[in-house]
Chains A and B, each alone.
Chain A
Amino acid sequence: MDNSLKISGMEKSFWKSLLFSLPMILITFMFITGGRPNFSDPYEAIALLSVFLLVNILFFLMHFSGKTDRYRAVLFILFAFSLSYTLIRNMLEIRHSMSFSQADLLECKIPFCHLVIPMMILPAAFTKSIIFPGSIISGFANISSMVVLWITATIVLGRGFCSWGCFYGGWDDGFSRVRKKPVIKKINSLWKWMPFAVLLMVALSAALTMLPTYCDWLCPFKTVTEFEKVTSVESAAKAGVFLTLFGGLVVVLPVMTRKRTQCSFLCPLGAVNSLSNKITPFTVKIDKTACTQCFKCVEACPLYALTKEDVNAGKVSVFCSKCGKCVDACSKKAIHYGIKGIPAGTMKSFSRNLFLFVSFLFMAIFSSGAIISTLQNLLKLIF
């Protein structure tokens, strides 16, 4: 009797999840295939179909299982890997090297990424110009498109951009999942303010030098994208800095701590996005009446965004990237996705479904191009 009830409950839940996934299936079909699937290239067709299925299976499972982070992470990590793979492959085809030359700089041919945005603001305000050697509107990763994508995602998701839209975050998210238990358990949580210091430093130095100093000197993701050709002591020093930061903050520390240390301790855009958490309607809420203060959520948070004090106060901090790890960790469902204005502990399912639809849709469409291209290329390499 119990078993049949369980099965019928699961069946009901299955159909409910499928119904909930239907709009995502239709929208992603339109965006991924452009509404007119072209099956003339079998590799492209397989890649396209695989990504379409993967995206929708992940979204379905999020609803069906009630878990968020594990399915989000699959697409998020895949996005980071695919974007780097596609970018490196393109550069090797065009330039035969991952490094860019002085000519690329002079001709403003450097692909733009959202990490430049914090450095652009002061020069744009005072000199009415952009301090990045990229293309304003034409070509791959142009400045205008990236600005539009980032502004919209930031208004809608706040710091959620760091877990649902950033094509670099998947690197340290991936490495933070390598070990089952952390080797380093305690890091002073004051370090989480470091991105604000980095933000201040790079914003001022970029304004004074009129150069994107973070990209020039600090960005660890040059390791997996592109970097200045080593032709002098200065360019060798720059390479040393970004390789060390990548090794330390993106690989070693995430493995040792099970936290996203680059996002927590360095990224200046993360600091800007933290401030935008005040605008977004979506948030993570703590229902103090249901909370047993086990603090599993504090332990699970990959960004040091949640402290015991926050849990006791029933509020998450501005550092929250809405990745869903804390929500998944809470057996009492005391911590949950919410919408501003709706009291904690109420309309949980509605709030979660609306947030997941918005955030997952953004990630699915934003990431699909890079993942399809990577898969298509890998298929061609293998067969």
Chain B
Amino acid sequence: MKKIKIIGGITWAIACLILIIILFPGLNSFSASVSRLPFMKINPRLSGGEIAYEIVAKSCTLDIRQPVFNGLFKERNSGFVQIDWRGEVPGIIKDSIDFNRDGKKDFCIIVNRKESKTDLFAFNSKVRSLIISTPTSYGWAARVELVK
């Protein structure tokens, strides 16, 4: 029994040595495999959610994302919808958004990029307030608070 324990310990230690030696040359391939695991995606609360639909204008594209309400076990009562303007975004943005695609505009957002000022006009009682309105590397992004 004692010998088996010793052999087991040494074998495990040598396996660990091999693991460390192959870790760095294989890091890219191991990381790629890990990235394909089902849970390896950023939570929509942080990523902003999937793009629901996009409106293409002359110089820029408006992405309206899926509303995000997710919680640990079930959906929450409060959430947000993120909208992104990509490309050559004009100095003043004025867009009316139908985030739930029911054919009615839910809110209107006006962004004055020069003054970094954003106004939100809600047409739907589920639309609450502006959470974030910020310049990004691709243009501009805003998050609007929603309730269910």
| Chain A residues at the B interface, C-beta cutoff of 8 Å | 27, 31, 101-103, 105-108, 122-134, 136-137, 142-145, 147-149, 152, 155-156, 207-208, 210-211, 280-282, 339-343, 351, 354-355, 357-358, 361-362, 365
Contact between A108 and B46, CB atoms less than 8 A apart? yes
Of B32-40, B54-62, B89-97, the segment with at least 4 beta carbons within 8 Å of chain A is B32-40
Contact between A123 and B72, CB atoms less than 8 A apart? yes
Choose among B5, B19, B20 the residue that contacts A341 (Cβ–Cβ < 8 A). Answer: B5
Q: For the complex formed, measure the closest distance between the CB of A210 and the CB atoms of chain B, giving whole angstroms.
A: 5
A103-B137, A125-B39, A339-B13 are known contacts; what are 6 more A-B pairs with Cβ within 8 Å? Answer: A102-B134, A103-B134, A134-B42, A207-B72, A210-B46, A354-B13
Contact between B23 and A152, CB atoms less than 8 A apart? yes
With A358-B20, A361-B21, A362-B20 as given contacts, are A102 and B132 in contact (CB-CB < 8 Å)?
Answer: yes
Contact between B16 and A122, CB atoms less than 8 A apart? no
Contact between A129 and B42, CB atoms less than 8 A apart? yes
The 7 closest A-B pairs by CB, nearest first: A341-B9, A341-B5, A129-B43, A144-B31, A281-B12, A137-B35, A281-B13
A71 to B85, CA, bound (A): 54
Name the CB-closest residue of A to B22: A152
Asked if B105 CB lies within 8 Å of chain A CBs, one says no
Name the CB-closest residue of B to A210: B45
A343 to B3, CA, bound (A): 10
Choose among B10, B20, B40, B72 the residue that contacts A127 (Cβ–Cβ < 8 A). Answer: B72
With A281-B16, A361-B21 as given contacts, are A108 and B47 in contact (CB-CB < 8 Å)?
Answer: yes
Looking at B23, B28, B136, B137, the one whose CB has the most chain A CB atoms below 10 A away is B23
Q: For the complex formed, measure the closest distance between the CB of B38 and the CB atoms of chain A, giving whole angstroms.
A: 5
In the assembled complex, which residues on chain B have CB atoms less than 8 Å from the CB atom of A102? 132, 134
A208 to B8, CA, bound (A): 42
With A130-B43, A147-B34, A207-B72 as given contacts, are A281 and B9 in contact (CB-CB < 8 Å)?
Answer: yes
Choose among B41, B136, B138 the residue that contacts A129 (Cβ–Cβ < 8 A). Answer: B41
Contact between A339 and B10, CB atoms less than 8 A apart? yes
A362 to B143, CA, bound (A): 43
In the assembled complex, which residues on chain B have CB atoms less than 8 Å from the CB atom of A155? 16, 19
In the assembled complex, which residues on chain B have CB atoms less than 8 Å from the CB atom of A105? 46
Q: How large is the interface on B (under 10, 10 to 19, 20 to 34, 35 or more residues)?
A: 35 or more
Q: For the complex formed, measure the closest distance between the CB of A130 and the CB atoms of chain B, giving whole angstroms.
A: 6
A355 to B16, CA, bound (A): 10
A130 to B48, CA, bound (A): 13
Asked if B17 CB lies within 8 Å of chain A CBs, one says yes
Name the CB-closest residue of B to A208: B72
With A103-B136, A126-B73, A354-B17 as given contacts, are A31 and B24 in contact (CB-CB < 8 Å)?
Answer: yes
Q: For the complex formed, measure the closest distance between the CB of B50 and the CB atoms of chain A, giving whole angstroms.
A: 12
Q: Is the interface of B mostly helix, strand, loop or mixed?
A: helix
In the assembled complex, which residues on chain B have CB atoms less than 8 Å from the CB atom of A210? 43, 45-46, 70-72
| Chain B residues at the A interface, C-beta cutoff of 8 Å | 2, 5-10, 12-14, 16-17, 19-21, 23-24, 27-28, 30-32, 34-35, 38-48, 70-73, 82, 132, 134-138, 141, 143
A114 to B31, CA, bound (A): 14
In the assembled complex, which residues on chain A have CB atoms less than 8 Å from the CB atom of B32? 137, 144
Name the CB-closest residue of B to A128: B39
Name the CB-closest residue of A to B11: A281
Contact between A211 and B45, CB atoms less than 8 A apart? yes
A134 to B8, CA, bound (A): 40
Choose among A149, A342, A357 the residue that contacts B17 (Cβ–Cβ < 8 A). Answer: A357
In the assembled complex, which residues on chain A have CB atoms less than 8 Å from the CB atom of B24? 31, 365
With A103-B135, A122-B72 as given contacts, are A144 and B23 in contact (CB-CB < 8 Å)?
Answer: no
Choose among A27, A130, A133, A355 the residue that contacts B40 (Cβ–Cβ < 8 A). Answer: A130
Contact between B72 and A103, CB atoms less than 8 A apart? no
Name the CB-closest residue of B to A147: B34
In the assembled complex, which residues on chain A have CB atoms less than 8 Å from the CB atom of B14? 354
A358 to B21, CA, bound (A): 8
Looking at A155, A210, A355, A361, the one whose CB has the most chain B CB atoms below 10 A away is A210
A108 to B132, CA, bound (A): 15
A281 to B13, CA, bound (A): 5
A129 to B38, CA, bound (A): 8
Q: For the complex formed, measure the closest distance between the CB of B22 and the CB atoms of chain A, giving whole angstroms.
A: 9
A122 to B39, CA, bound (A): 11
Choose among B12, B38, B132 the residue that contacts A340 (Cβ–Cβ < 8 A). Answer: B12
In the assembled complex, which residues on chain A have CB atoms less than 8 Å from the CB atom of B73? 126
Contact between B21 and A27, CB atoms less than 8 A apart? yes
Q: For the complex formed, measure the closest distance between the CB of B39 and the CB atoms of chain A, giving whole angstroms.
A: 4
A260 to B6, CA, bound (A): 33
With A281-B16, A282-B13, A365-B24 as given contacts, are A133 and B46 in contact (CB-CB < 8 Å)?
Answer: yes
In the assembled complex, which residues on chain A have CB atoms less than 8 Å from the CB atom of B10? 339, 341-342
A185 to B32, CA, bound (A): 48
Choose among B17, B44, B82 the residue that contacts A358 (Cβ–Cβ < 8 A). Answer: B17
